[in-house]
Amino acid sequence: MASNTVTMGHLPNGVGVCTTIPDILYVPELIFGGLVWILVACTYVVPQNPQAWVMFVSVFCFVMTFVWLVVFACGSHGNSSGWAAADFIYHLIAVVFYLSASVALAKVTMDYKSDPLTKVYKLDISAVVFSFVATLLYFVHTILSAIRWKSF
């Protein structure tokens, strides 16, 4: 019987990426990050700068998380502690980026609520919610990556 946990001082490869903690969080990060990307692209936010920042963050984190998932799935990391540190640093940067983007998008959405029943407002609210969920997922992944890195 296979276990869904491994020793924290070990970086998984292959299918193990989808079955171990914290690496199992890659898939939800991709899903929620993609939803933020799609929802922001479908909305109209009056000040363009926060929307551009949110788009940059969601696209950057989506692409980097996918690349990170492929690197881990292929086993290119060689079970090195340097890769564990890089995993922690990347997710820490993603948390800071997503938190700043989420707060900016929430502020603009709250200022824009001229008619809460419009489709655009509902899309904005959905983007804010999914952005904060993505932030939470990246935060949990950061904490678990730090624990794994320190156990090397």
In a domain, 7, yes or no: no
pTM of the model: 0.86
141: confidence class by pLDDT, cuts 50, 70, 90 = very high
Backbone angles phi, psi at 106, to 5 degrees: -65, -40
In a domain, 116, yes or no: yes
Query: 7-37 burial by CB neighbour count: b if 16+ within 10 A, else e?
Result: ebeebbbeebbeebbbbbbbebbbebbbbbb
| Residues 6+ positions from 82 with CB-CB distance below 8 Å | none
Query: Between helices 119-150 and 81-111, what is the axis angle to 10°?
Result: 160
d(CA 23, CA 145): 9
In a domain, 41, yes or no: yes
Q: Residue 55 sits in which domain range? A: 15-151
Number of domains in the chain: 1
In a domain, 4, yes or no: no
In a domain, 117, yes or no: yes
Q: What is the pLDDT of residues 65-103, one digit of tens each?
A: 999 999 888 888 777 788 889 999 999 999 999 999 999
8: confidence class by pLDDT, cuts 50, 70, 90 = low
